[in-house]
Amino acid sequence: MLPIDTRIHRAQRLLRMLEEDAPLLAVRVAELTPERQQSAQEYAAHLTATARAELDRLKEYEFVWDSNDPTPEAAD
């Protein structure tokens, strides 16, 4: 299993890519029928929402994991 920081970084990168791609989606689906355009846009919105929820879940998990981490820290 990947470390939590790596998973968070990947989720952030995916979310950023999806959000940056949103304006280009309209151009790519312009030749499709209106129903297909709507379907593609709804799928992209669902995928973005899922990625955002996963990122939130990972950040919450990281917070809980850090607070329960029994690893000793260096003394001052």
Average pLDDT over residues 12-33: 94
pLDDT of 52-67, one tens digit each? Answer: 999 999 998 877 655 5
Separation between Cα atoms, residue 73 and residue 76, nearest integer Å: 9
| pLDDT of 65 | 59
The DSSP letter of residue 32 is S
What are 48's two structure tokens? 């973005």
Domain boundaries, the chain: 4-67
Average pLDDT over residues 24-46: 95
Which residue bears the tokens 């690893």?
71
What separation, in Å, do the N-terminal and C-terminal C-alpha atoms of the chain show?
33
Q: Are 44 and 25 in contact (CB under 8 A)?
A: yes
